[in-house]
Structure 1
Amino acid sequence: TPPQTSQIAILWFFEICEAIAYSVVYPFVNELVKGLDVIGGDDRRVGYYVGLIQSTFYLTECLCVLQWGRLSDVIGRRPVICIALLGVTLSITCFGLSRTFGALILSRSLAGLTSGNIAVIKSAIGGLADSTDVLQAFQYLPLCWNIGQTIGSLIGGYLSNPSQRFPRTFGDSAFWRTYPYLLPCLVAALFPLSGSIASILFLRETVLHPWRWKGWSKVGRSKRDPKSTPLLPHATPAHRSASLLSILTKPVIISVANYCLLAFISMAYSVLQPLFLSTPIQHGGLGLDRARIGYILTAQSAVGALCVLMLSARLQQNFGVNTVFSITMAVFMVLHGAFPVMNALAREDRIGCQVWFILAVQLVLHGLVEIGFGCMIYSSHERLAISCGPWQSKWTRTNCHISGACDRAGELDSTLRPIGRKESDGWQARLCCPIDGRGTWRRIEFPPGGCITEIDSCSGGSRALQRNLSKRSQPEYIGYSEGSRVRF
Structure 2
Amino acid sequence: ALLVSLNVVDAFHLNVVWPMLPFLVARDVGVKARDVGFYVGVCGAAAPLGAMCGAYAWGRVSDAHGRRPALIAGCVASTISVYAFGTATTTTRAALGRFLSGLANGNAAIVKTYVGEITTKVSAGRAFGVLALGYGLASAAAPGVGGYLQRPAERWPRAFAGTVFETYPYLLPMVVASTLTFVGAVLGWVFLPETASFTLRRRQEERRRQRGADASRGEAKRLVKLASAGELQTFADDHDDDDEVADGVVDVEDTRTLQKTPTEEVLFTPETTIAVACYALLAAIAIGYDELIPVYLKTDRDMGGCGFSPSDIGLLLIAGGVTLLIFQLTLYTRICDALGAVRAFRFGVSLFAGISILAPFASLAPNNTMLWIIALTSQCVKICALGIGFVSITIVVNNSCEDAVKARVNAISGSTSAFARVVSPVVCGWMFSMSMRLQDVVPFHQVAPFVFISVVA
Q: What is the root-mean-square deviation in Å for CA atoms of aligned residues? A: 2.9
Tell me what 2:182 maps to.
193
Determine the C-alpha separation between the residues in 1 that align with 2:35 and 2:80: 29
Could you tell me the percent identity over the aligned residues? 24
CA contact (8 A) 1:307 1:370 kept: no
Cα drift, residue 370 of structure 1: 3.5
Q: Is structure 2 residue 384 aligned with structure 1 residue 368?
A: yes
Tell me what 2:312 maps to.
292
Q: For residue 300 of structure 1, what is the amino acid of its counterpart?
A: G
Q: Which has the larger radius of gyration?
A: 2
Higher relative contact order (Cα pairs below 8 Å, separated by 6+ residues): 2
Tell me what 2:411 maps to.
404
Determine the C-alpha separation between the residues in 2 that align with 1:226 and 1:107: 53
Q: Is structure 2 residue 155 aligned with structure 1 residue 165?
A: yes
Tell me what 2:199 maps to.
208
Please give the secondary structure, in 2, of the residue aligned with 1:208: helix
Cα drift, residue 189 of structure 1: 1.1
Q: For residue 454 of structure 2, what is the amino acid of its counterpart?
A: I
Determine the C-alpha separation between the residues in 2 that align with 1:212 and 1:321: 33
Tell me what 2:234 maps to.
none
CA contact (8 A) 1:303 1:363 kept: no
Cα drift, residue 128 of structure 1: 2.7
Determine the C-alpha separation between the residues in 2 that align with 1:278 and 1:241: 53
TM-score, with length taken from structure 1 = 0.79
Determine the C-alpha separation between the residues in 2 that align with 1:113 and 1:212: 31
CA contact (8 A) 1:58 1:411 kept: yes
Kindly tell me: are residues 75 and 319 of structure 1, through their superposed partners in 2, closer, same or farther at Cα, counting changes over 3 Å?
closer
CA contact (8 A) 1:74 1:214 kept: no
Cα drift, residue 216 of structure 1: 12
Cα drift, residue 329 of structure 1: 2.4
Q: Is structure 2 residue 3 aligned with structure 1 residue 15?
A: no
Tell me what 2:237 maps to.
none
Q: For residue 446 of structure 2, what is the amino acid of its counterpart?
A: R
Deviation sequence 1:211-270 (CA, Å, 0-9, x none): 88888999xxxxx79943597841435988952344322221221222122222222211
CA contact (8 A) 2:79 2:178 kept: yes
Tell me what 2:289 maps to.
269
Q: For residue 366 of structure 1, what is the amino acid of its counterpart?
A: K
Determine the C-alpha separation between the residues in 1 that align with 2:347 and 2:13: 30
Determine the C-alpha separation between the residues in 1 that align with 2:441 and 2:139: 36
Cα drift, residue 281 of structure 1: 1.6
Greater CA drift, 113-122 or 300-309:
113-122
Determine the C-alpha separation between the residues in 1 that align with 2:123 and 2:361: 44
TM-score, with length taken from structure 2 = 0.84
Greater CA drift, 186-195 or 319-328:
319-328
CA contact (8 A) 1:151 1:298 kept: yes
Pairing 1:57-456 to 2, within 5 Å after superposition:
57-130=47-120, 132-170=122-160, 172-206=161-195, 207-208=198-199, 227-229=216-218, 233-237=250-254, 242-345=262-365, 349=366, 351-373=367-389, 375-379=391-395, 381-386=396-401, 391=402, 395-396=403-404, 398-436=405-443, 441-444=444-447, 447=448, 450-456=449-455
CA contact (8 A) 2:88 2:94 kept: yes
Tell me what 2:24 maps to.
32
Question: Gaps (5+ residues) in structure 1?
Answer: 1-8, 219-223, 459-488
Cα drift, residue 322 of structure 1: 4.8
Greater fraction helix:
2
Kindly tell me: are residues 370 and 143 of structure 1, through their superposed partners in 2, closer, same or farther at Cα, counting changes over 3 Å?
farther
Determine the C-alpha separation between the residues in 2 that align with 1:331 and 1:210: 41
Cα drift, residue 115 of structure 1: 2.5
CA contact (8 A) 2:51 2:105 kept: yes
Determine the C-alpha separation between the residues in 2 that align with 1:262 and 1:343: 26
Cα drift, residue 176 of structure 1: 2.2
Kindly tell me: are residues 274 and 62 of structure 1, through their superposed partners in 2, closer, same or farther at Cα, counting changes over 3 Å?
same
